[in-house]
Amino acid sequence: MTPARPADGIAWITGASAGIGRAVVLRLLQDGWTVAVTARRADELHAMAAEHPGRIIAAPGDVTDAGQMRAAVATAQAQAGRPIALAILNAGTYVPMSAEHFDAAAFKLQVDVNLGGTANALAAVMPGLIARRRGQLAIVASVAGYRGLPTALAYAATKAALIAMTESLKFDLDRFGVLTHIINPGFVRTPLTGKNTFPMPFIIEADDAARRIVRGLGSTRFEIAFPGRFVFILKLLRILPYRLFFPLVGRGTKTG
C-alpha cells in the first residue's frame, strides 16, 4: 500500500471549518489536492470554497446525522467528478468534565459527535474505498485516549474508543489495500483547547499540527502522534501500574 496522491482523487475532511481541520485543508491545497470540506457551519465552508474556487468543495453536514454524511460524500464526489482517495475524519468536540460536575447530556454529546459521528462518516466513505481496493483513511483521536486523565471523563473515553476502533479496522482494510492511520495530537491551540483552565504542556499551533499530520499521511506508518516528547511521556504513563500512575498524575495535575 502507498499513500494516496492528488491524481488518485480528492481529499475529504470532516470538522473542516476551524482548528486542526481547517489548517489541514490549507496544507493539502499546497500539496495539490482538491479538498471536500464538511462541517455544520455551511457559511464557513462556502466562504472557504469561494477563496479557493475549483480547489475546495463545500459539502456541509452534521456528523451526528448518518444521512447527511452520505449526502456529503455524494456531493463531494459528484462535484469533483472523481472519487474520494483520502478521507480524514476529524470532527470532534470537548466538554471538560469532572466527577463533581458530571453531566450526562454533555457526556452523550461527546459520544455522539466524537464516536458516533466518526462511525457515520465511516459508513459513508468506507464502502467506496473498499470497492476500489485503494485509498487512504485517517481518523483523528488524541493522546488523551492513551489513559484516563482528569477533567476528560467523556473526551478520553471517546478517544480511547477511536484508537481501538481504528486498530480493529486496520486488520480488515489492509486486505482491501486501504492505508489506515490513527492521528493522536497532543495539545493544539484551537477553540476547543481554549476552554482549558489548566497548563497545557508542549502546546503547538494548528498550522504546526497540520504540517505534522500531512507529513505523516505521506508515510505508511499507522500512528501519527505528536509532539514527540509529550507522546513519549503519555505512552510511558500508559504502561505504569495503577499504584504509580494515580499518585504521579494526581501530583502532576494538582488533582491528587
What does the pLDDT average to over 179-198?
80
Look-up: residue for cell 505534522?
212
- Between 254 and 220, residue with greater pLDDT: 220
Q: How far from each other are the two terminal CA atoms of the chain, in whole angstroms?
A: 46
* 6-252 CATH pick, 3.30.360.10, 3.40.50.720, 3.40.630.30, 3.40.830.10: 3.40.50.720
DSSP per position, 159-202 = HHHHHHHHHHHHHHHHHTT-EEEEEEE--EESTTGGG--S--TT
At 136, is the pLDDT very low, low, confident or very high (cuts 50, 70, 90)?
very high
Catalytic residue among 94, 146, 155, 242: 155
What is the pTM (predicted TM-score) of this model? Answer: 0.93
* Residue ranges of domains in the chain: 6-252
Q: What is the pLDDT of residues 201-248, one digit of tens each?
A: 778 899 999 999 999 999 999 999 999 999 999 999 999 999 999 998
What residues contact 228, with CB distance under 8 A and at least 6 apart?
none
Cis peptide leading into residue 227 (ω within 30°): yes
Pick the closest to residue 128 from 169, 179, 172, 73 (CA basis): 73
CA distances (Å), origin 150, targets 13, 14, 96, 144, 177 = 30, 27, 9, 10, 39
pLDDT value, residue 139: 98
Catalytic, 155? Answer yes
Say if residue 173's pLDDT is above 60: yes
